[in-house]
Homo-oligomer: A and B are copies of this chain.
Amino acid sequence: MGGDHGAETIIDGARLALQSNASITQLILVGRPEDIEAGIKRTGCRDPRVTIVPATEVLSMEDKPVEGLRRKKDCSILRAVDLLKEGRGDALISPGNTGGIVAASTIRLRPLAGVDRPGIATVIPGQKNDFVLLDSGASVECRPLHLLHFAIMGSIYSREILGYQTPRVGILSNGTEPNKGTETTQEACKLCKMADLNFIGYVEGHDLFDDRVDVVVCDGFIGNIVLKTLESFAKGLGGWVKDEIFTNPKRILGAMLMKNALRTIKRRLDPDRRGGAPLLGLNGTIFKAHGSASARAISNAIGECTKALQHRLTQMIVADIAKAGALATVQKS
């Protein structure tokens, strides 16, 4: 219910996913039944695998997460999380209030054994490699151990979903020298060095788009700022180029001849390609779709979730977090 474009777009995305993805055995739409039924009618999403689970309320973008969830007991995000808790669903996709998704799933599903804080793992595309940035907005203030867990979860995600054999993991800092960073990042570096990771130490902003790192670890405050700043810059630059082109016909002709070059890049940068980002570290497969997700984005997000399930991402995270914990205990003793 919580997307910018209403239930209809989400349902249209579900329709696309069901058409193309035979591995889906059931698709549950959670929300106001009248909105969902209207959406089904308008999009023609008539598939026997679709079920509706009613929820009378919606956590809006304006609601404060924890307070909103306390007030709106019958909101769609809580009902959807409960489906996972009860074993009636395997994965959850929501384009709604990020804080609400994080709070509802953390409270009801609990973090995985050994994990304290969930992290949103956003894939950022580059020319040479795609890297994972996490946490990009779930956990604002983090201790060193949380950053270690992000490193482990990001490494698994990069390997399993992006296909990097031994992902290079770095902690985002204001320079690559070991004396840089904060107390938290310095301590986190020590922990990551001990863990079974291809840990390359600190990375700085200059490294991100230069094929030097595959998993960029930071707290959710910084990750969110970095992600949104990049989105803002890319969008601003795109508009700027367009404005410059439309000042004269010669430039317009040039742009037409170059169209395919720009289109290739635009496609790679297109946020709809993945449709959002997974929330890792919880007892369940949770995916935050973009608030403004199109039907295609929602369909792709559903695809990302089936991949995560097929790769048994959650189970792998549990195993690697346990290994890191055991390693720390051995080294301490």
Identify the A interface with B (CB < 8 A): 64, 126-127, 137, 140-141, 172-175, 177, 179-183, 204-210, 218, 220-222, 224-237, 239-241, 243-245, 247, 250-251, 253-262, 264-265
A139–chain B nearest beta-carbon distance, Å: 11
Q: How many copies of this chain are found per oligomer?
A: 2
Pair A233/B231 contact, Cβ less than 8 Å: no
Partner among B174, B209, B241 whose Cβ is within 8 Å of the Cβ of A235: B209
Contact indicator A228/B205 (Cβ below 8 Å): yes
- Interface of chain A, helix or strand or loop or mixed? helix
Residue of B nearest to A261 (CB): B244
Known contacts: A182-B140, A251-B261. The answer to whether A243 contacts B127 by CB under 8 A is: yes
Contact pick for A174, options B140, B232, B257, CB 8 Å: B140
Q: Offer 12 A-B interface pairs, CB within 8 angstroms, sorted by A.
A: A126-B236, A173-B225, A204-B224, A204-B228, A205-B229, A209-B232, A209-B235, A225-B226, A233-B233, A244-B262, A253-B254, A253-B257
Q: Which single member of B226, B254, B257 contacts A226 (CB below 8 Å)?
A: B226
**Selected contact of A229 from candidates B226, B239, B250, CB within 8 Å:** B226
A222 neighbours in B (Cβ, 8 Å): 221-222, 225
Q: Does A232 contact B208, Cβ atoms closer than 8 Å? A: yes
Contact of A245 among B218, B229, B258 (CB under 8 A): B258
Residues on the B chain within 8 Å of A259, using CB? 254
Q: Do the beta carbons of A241 and B255 come within 8 Å of each other? A: no
Which residue of B is nearest A264, CB measured? B244
A205 near B221 with CB under 8 A, answer: no
CB distance from A69 to the nearest CB of B (A): 14
For the complex of A and B, 7 pairs with smallest distance between CB atoms: A205-B228, A254-B257, A209-B236, A254-B258, A205-B229, A244-B261, A174-B224
Q: Is the CB of B239 within 8 A of A127?
A: yes
- Asked if B205 and A240 make an inter-chain contact with CB atoms under 8 angstroms apart, the answer reads no
For A249, the closest partner residue in chain B by CB is B257
Contacts of A204 in B (CB 8 A): 224-225, 228
The complex places the Cα of A226 from the Cα of B180 at a distance, in Å, of 16
- Are B229 and A229 in contact, CB atoms less than 8 angstroms apart? yes
